[in-house]
Amino acid sequence: MSFFTHLECSATGQRYDRSQPHNLSEAGKPLLARYDLDAAKPALDRDAIWARGGGFWKWRELLPVDRDEDVVALGEVDTPLIDVPATMARSGGTGRLIVKDEGRLPTGSFKARGLALAVAMAKSFGITRMAMPTNGNAGAALSAYASRAGMESWCFAPADTPEVNLREIALHGGHVYRVNGYIHECGALVAAGKAAMGWFDVSTLKEPYRIEGKKTMGLELAAQLGWRLPDAIFYPTGGGTGLIGMWKAFDEMERLGWIGPERPKMFAVQAEGCAPIVKAYEAGEEHAEEWKNAQTAAMGIRVPKAIGDFLILRAVRESGGAALAVSESAIEAARVTCGREDGLLLCPEGAATLAAYQKALTDGLIDRDAEAVLYNCGSGLKYAMPDAAKTLDKDAAIDWSSL
């Protein structure tokens, strides 16, 4: 059974009925799912839940899906924690550096967590059409889970979205369109077409359940570390759903008695070419202004305007962390370092978290012996890689010593 009771406006606290679909609150802010944790506390055994299979679906009591028939599954797993000691040493750290590799999930990214929950809840409400803006991986997850559930999906992507993502969406049965604009402009198209097309808008934080899927990253991490949390978490931040979700998960786990009050420093990582959260953090602001002319190869964090900006900034500040921007050259150097030193291929967004870890060490934002977790949000295989292959003529004499 689920202990889900109601939805609550993240800004005003106003309650909303859980029995019908919702987008934003009346205040235009994200809605958060709330649970009867007092009732759940004596009923739930954290270790028994952790011993289950099914990946993030194992946390059903702390997720909003009531009926088994509404669960939409594609072989979810608990994503591994992979130590990268050589990369840490090269970066100047002396503690423990861990990558949580979300690329092992269905459709190759952490977007599977949020979209699986969004689709499952839409299914429970009888929704048959869904639409969203995407920089690539979210659209792939939506199209896969929607098709699995027998629904239709529409995805609107910036024209320079990686081609592999666009083709993946289409192959999963989604209707996909290239748009001459940024992701928030694609989002405006979703809103504009809602009445005519009859679809439900599953844009980031514009529906309440993607965040519930993403919070499972925090539940899973705590369990994998023996029901404790690391010193620091570096999270690639576009819309910020995962950072907000993990912060929510930590609070829920403490109230259940699963962990103590200690919290990791939360680092929201952005690219220098699109850093609205960093700018707002450094200015002491609660909301972030739209970032003009956003540019970065890390498409997943190219989000000029995040509707949950105040929730991201709140979590960062409450944790004692920071919002950090890293350069394109630092992102690529980090990707190369982790691949060559530890054999782990990071996506550009994941590489940004490594670059931010290195910056945090240099700037004294974390101790050198800190235990830090980097979120590699998707498979590095989905992104272009430098061509370093050389040519060898099998019919010519080969100077082996020159190889």
CB atoms under 10 Å from CB of 151, counted, come to: 21
For the CA atoms of 271, 214, 84, 357, what is the dihedral angle to 10 degrees?
30
Phi first, then psi, for residue 5 (nearest 5°) are -115, -40
User: Which residue in 78, 75, 85, 117 sits closest to 101, CA to CA?
Assistant: 78
Per-residue pLDDT, 264: 98
Map residue 140 onto helix, strand or coil.
Answer: helix
Identify the pLDDT of residue 288.
Answer: 96
Q: Is 74 exposed, middle or buried (0-12, 13-18, 19+ CB in 10 A)?
A: middle
Q: Do residues 116 and 72 touch, judged by C-beta distance below 8 A?
A: yes
* Per-residue pLDDT, 271: 98
Q: How far apart are CA 376 and CA 280, in angstroms?
A: 24
- What DSSP element (H or E) covers 34? strand 31-35
> Per the structure block, which two tokens stand in for 172?
């999963």
Q: Cβ distance 245 to 215 under 8 Å?
A: yes
DSSP 146: H
Rounded to whole angstroms, how far apart are CA atoms 127 and 344? 39
Fold of 81-108+210-382: Rossmann fold (3.40.50)
Q: What is the pLDDT of residue 47?
A: 98
If you search the block for the tokens 């952005």, which residue do you land on? 270
Strands 96-101 and 81-83: antiparallel
Rg (CA), the chain: 21
* Domain regions of the chain by residue span: 81-108+210-382
Place of tokens 């689709």: 119
Element (H, E) at 232: strand 232-236
Q: How many angstroms separate the Cα of 222 from the Cα of each of 3, 145, 258, 268, 349?
A: 20, 27, 9, 19, 22
Predicted pLDDT of residue 386: 86
Beta strands (DSSP E) in 122-171 are 129-133, 152-158
Instruction: Please list the pLDDT of the chain residue by residue as tens digits (403 residues).
Output: 799 999 999 999 999 999 999 999 999 999 999 999 999 999 999 999 999 999 999 999 999 999 999 999 999 999 999 999 999 999 999 999 999 999 999 999 999 999 999 999 999 999 999 999 999 999 999 999 999 999 999 999 999 999 999 999 999 999 999 999 999 999 999 999 999 999 999 999 999 999 999 999 999 999 999 999 999 999 999 999 999 999 999 999 999 999 999 999 999 999 999 999 999 999 999 999 999 999 999 999 999 999 999 999 999 999 999 999 999 999 999 999 999 999 999 999 999 999 999 999 999 999 999 999 999 999 999 998 889 899 999 999 999 998 9
pTM of the model: 0.96
CA distance 315 to 330: 25
**Inter-axis angle of helices 137-148 and 163-171, to 10 degrees?**
10
Residue 1 pLDDT:
79
Spatial distance between the Cα atoms of 305 and 400, rounded to a whole number of angstroms: 54
Task: Output the CA torsion sign for 18, 20, 24, 30.
Answer: positive
Q: What pLDDT does 384 receive? A: 87
**Cβ atoms of residues 232 and 372 within 8 Å:** yes
